[in-house]
Amino acid sequence: MMNARLISLVAVIVVAVALASQHGEAHKAITSKYTFNDDVFPIFNERCARCHVERGVAPMSLMTFKDAFPWAESIRAELIAGHMPPWNAEEGFGDLKHARTLTAKELDVVLTWATGGNPQGNLDQTLPAVTLKNDWIMGAPDLALTLPSEFTVPADRMDVTEEFTLPSGTKEAQWVRAVDLLPGTPSVVRSAVIYLKSPSMPGPKGSGLQPTADRVLALWLPGHDPEPLDGRVAFKLPAGAELVVRIHYKKTWQFEGQPIADRSTVGVYFAPDKEAQELLAVPIVSPPPTTARDQILTFTRTIDEDVQALAMRPEDVPPNITLQMTAVLPDGSHAPMIKLNTRPDWARRYWFEKPIALPRGSRIELDRINHEATGHDAAEARHQRHSGKTQTHRTVGQDDQPSYGVSGFSRTEGNQPDQPDAINFRNNTAAGEASTLPWSPSRRRRLSPSELASATKVTRSRGILRTSDELSNV
């Protein structure tokens, strides 16, 4: 049996709503065979009710015909664009847990209704009332940490990000299997990052290239449930540790010009197994932040140990970037892991349906496609477009400042180095070539227009979507 180590690979890796239709139902031809009452409402109730409900975080409720009808055209546009439901990984490229996508049948029902006159159905039919559910999905937590005081989003601000430090009060170290957030005012709590505070590392990111404990305990989003660890691996909460919760507050148009107060609570769930292995984090270098439009960069990393990949989360990646991660096994076979497109405001972990075995000598390949120029190249691209020139390449140099992501893993009994940095991740560089980066960049040719169209095509029926923005902007 292979002595595997569990590893959580992390590649370095609301919605603008169109104006509602102003035309009444009487002015539309009814061509839809589906009605709101019989066909659309059950889908909205099952798939959308945790956000698109009265007092929810979404800008509108979809739980009654009166609520949903004015937004039919916007619903159609969001579905076709792949923005809703907010799941940003491509279906069919790797297997992920809890994929938040509509089935082909559900998509057909909603699009047909939205474009076919939006019929209500039986006017005498009474639909069940849907109310906001704001409770602990996993039940009462073992440790509840409420914000030290109420925070108010000022009347003249539509969104603001605030950090709060929460003393855990624990007398001894604890293993943690999950961390969740219960919003005090769900309509304004847009997202949150919860991490362990460290005197040497004030933010959620690690430092340098060496493995460290994964201090990011949770990336919280409305409607997305926490994924509890199975007990073999867990986060470690030191005695007396402090947690930091960074909350992004965002008002919807209904609350414009109003002060909104919140006092949310962080819930910590302890792991019963006292012998769990600590989830660790390994920084992974991403392509530099200044890159040309439509440029593909490939980064590879050879794994020197038998491991299992558990999850992936983007970090420090600008929007409108396609990331594709593939495992190349020692026998030469390829195992697709995940493909996603970065999108602001939806940072989360993506857990693989089953751990992906990566035997010693496996190679991880991360492709990054930039659909917009970034940093210095963005300004240069604008200048060249103005002068009639087209920028075609960009060479990654040693002076480029990389951004980092992290990958976590736990060590099994009998195979534990004394220090995390004893794990050796070999650089994928030519023999004798010096390199300080665990990812080795290689530049590919510029995409042709047809290739680019294929690479960036958004087909909702296949579940291709947009992802989250960089962690620091959550």
* 443 vs 309, higher pLDDT: 309
Residues 194 and 341 in one domain: no
Give φ, ψ of 386 to 5 degrees.
-65, -35
Domain limits for position 250: 143-273
Residue 332, in any domain of the structure: yes
Question: Which tokens belong to 45?
Answer: 């109730």
Give φ, ψ of 318 to 5 degrees.
-70, 165
Residue 134, in any domain of the structure: no
Residues 264 and 337 in one domain: no
Residues 292 and 206 in one domain: no
What are the Cα distances from residue 237, in Å, to 216, 234, 383? Answer: 11, 9, 51
Question: Which tokens belong to 12?
Answer: 């370095």
Of the candidates 282, 268, 283, 284, the residue with the CA atom closest to the CA atom of residue 196: 268
Residue 427 has pLDDT above 80, yes or no: no
Residues 349 and 445 in one domain: yes
The confidence score (pLDDT) of residue 398 equals 29
Residue 20, in any domain of the structure: no
Residue 138, in any domain of the structure: no
Output the CA angle 261-262-267, nearest 5 degrees: 175
Q: Enumerate residues 6+ apart whose C-beta is below 8 A from 376.
A: 290
* 258 vs 212, higher pLDDT: 258
The confidence score (pLDDT) of residue 308 equals 76
User: Of 273, 292, 316, which residue is a domain's last?
Assistant: 273
Cβ pair 31, 302 in contact under 8 A: no
What is the C-alpha to C-alpha distance for residues 181 and 67, in angstroms, rounded to an integer? 28
Residues 242 and 336 in one domain: no
What is the C-alpha to C-alpha distance for residues 203 and 373, in angstroms, rounded to an integer? 27
Cβ pair 315, 348 in contact under 8 A: no
What is the C-alpha to C-alpha distance for residues 279 and 173, in angstroms, rounded to an integer? 14
What average pLDDT is seen over the chain? 73
CA dihedral in degrees (302, 305, 309, 310; nearest 10)?
Answer: -140
The confidence score (pLDDT) of residue 255 equals 94
Residue 85 has pLDDT above 60, yes or no: yes
Residues 78 and 171 in one domain: no
CA 425 to chain centre: 26
Residues 267 and 374 in one domain: no
Residues 191 and 232 in one domain: yes
Tokens 């370095």 identify what position? 12
Cβ pair 63, 54 in contact under 8 A: yes
Residue 2, in any domain of the structure: no
Residues 264 and 358 in one domain: no
Residues 149 and 180 in one domain: yes
Per-residue pLDDT of 197-219, as tens digits, reads: 876 544 555 444 444 567 889 99
**Lowest-pLDDT choice from 41-45, 163-167, 408-412:** 408-412
Residues 179 and 237 in one domain: yes
b/e 289-323 (16+ beta carbons within 10 angstroms → b): bbbbbbbbbbbbbbbebbbbbbbbbbbbbbbbbbb
Q: How many helices (H) and strands (E) does the chain have?
A: 6, 22
**Lowest-pLDDT choice from 23-32, 137-146, 181-190, 411-420:** 411-420
The confidence score (pLDDT) of residue 205 equals 54
